[in-house]
Structure 1
Amino acid sequence: MSEAQGFDALAGLSSNPQAAAPAEPKIDAQGRSYATGKRKNAIARVWIKPGTGKITVNGRDQEVYFARPVLRMMIAQPLQVTERLGQFDVDVTVEGSGLSGQAGAIRHGLSKALTYYEPALRPVLKPHGFLTRDSRVVERKKYGKAKARRSFQFSKR
């Protein structure tokens, strides 16, 4: 095949993501979708399956694991936006970071799992930023400084 023919074959392919056919759902033998979510140093492994809306985090109910209502609300956001609240049972294993980072990781993983289970939900979740990995992490401390950017107190005299 000549170079020109190879180029012509590629010219027919569209780079427009909307033009691509909708992806196939990724569902395992037990009817679950799996995804990983990350935030700060937290990594969440999320499984979703059709159910009553029960959310389990590290073997405990979400009300027990996340005492602050703000964190529970954060986890439920992808389900509220897609109007799937109470339709999926969510099982999560999360480690690393603090509670806020873990809640963010669960939200990210849950959003990805929803798109794997129902690819049509991707255009709903994407504008809200739930599918984007929040790459902000703590800045390292530098030598000659008290913290990452804070300098030691300076005395002119």
Structure 2
Amino acid sequence: MIDLTKLQFTSKQLTAICKKFSYFESNPNSKLKFKPDPESNVIYPGKAEALGRRKSSVAQVKLTAGKGTMTINGKSATSYLQKNLFLLTRIEAPLYFLSLNDYVSLSITVKGGGLIGQADAIKLGISRALCNYNIDYRYPLRNKGYLTRDARIKERKKYGLKKARKAPQYSKR
């Protein structure tokens, strides 16, 4: 590990470094200091926010360093998801993958869609919040597929058809 405080830069070099890396900022003492990326939703170290979407569900995830509690719309995760183990494991997959299930507390607000769509929106929101929490988690989560947004949505109904693609019965004669 390189000790950045012992490196000496001219002010022009330091300015160039600061422009190149948005999370480093120079202070009047010419030392490098951690600064969250303004485009990410990092509030301050130890907290992060993110948004996850799936079909018509939208989940707002607030992540804090904590004891591993998870609340969804003011209820515990098990009661909100009706004790469905399939959905619970689906939601907690990114946390278990990074072994953070006991060190991070989550407060989630989710709207729209059904339970499965909401669960997938929450999973994506948790993954994005973990990336905002620590940028080092991005590569393993990306490789595992947790940061990929499932873009499949319901196809609209077309006029002249009964559903999106179902046509009325065709008679030749």
TM-score of the superposition, structure 1-length normalised? 0.79
Offset at 1:58?
A: 0.3
Offset at 1:124?
A: 0.7
SS at match of 1:109: helix
Q: Is the 8 A contact 1:22 1:119 kept in 2?
A: no
Choose from 61, 75, 83 the match for 1:60.
75
Choose from 90, 93, 97 the match for 2:109.
93
Offset at 1:69?
A: 1.6
Amino acid at match of 1:138: K
Which residue pairs with 1:49 in the alignment? 64
Amino acid at match of 2:101: L
- Distance (whole Å) between structure 2 residues aligned to residue 38 and residue 88 of structure 1: 21
Q: Percentage identity across aligned positions?
A: 39
- Distance (whole Å) between structure 1 residues aligned to residue 141 and residue 150 of structure 2: 15
Q: Is the 8 A contact 2:45 2:133 kept in 1?
A: no
1:105 aligns with 2:121: yes
Offset at 1:63?
A: 0.7
Choose from 117, 141, 148 the match for 2:133.
117
Offset at 1:31?
A: 3.4
Give RMSD over aligned pairs.
2.1
Q: Is the 8 A contact 1:42 1:102 kept in 2?
A: yes
Offset at 1:22?
A: 10
- Distance (whole Å) between structure 1 residues aligned to residue 72 and residue 159 of structure 2: 39
Which residue pairs with 2:51 in the alignment? 36
SS at match of 1:78: helix
Q: Is the 8 A contact 1:50 1:89 kept in 2?
A: yes
| Structure 1 residues 21 and 81, CA gap change in structure 2 (3 angstroms) | farther
SS at match of 2:64: strand
5+ long unaligned stretches in structure 1? 1-19
Q: Is the 8 A contact 2:46 2:133 kept in 1?
A: no
- Distance (whole Å) between structure 1 residues aligned to residue 166 and residue 67 of structure 2: 49
Offset at 1:155?
A: 3.3
SS at match of 1:33: strand
- Distance (whole Å) between structure 2 residues aligned to residue 44 and residue 64 of structure 1: 17
5+ long unaligned stretches in structure 2? 1-19, 24-34
Question: Can you list the C-alpha shifts for 1:24-80, whole angstroms capped at 9, x where unaligned?
Answer: 656425832111111111111101112221110000001111012211111001111
| Structure 1 residues 149 and 104, CA gap change in structure 2 (3 angstroms) | same
TM-score of the superposition, structure 2-length normalised? 0.72
Q: Is the 8 A contact 1:53 1:87 kept in 2?
A: yes
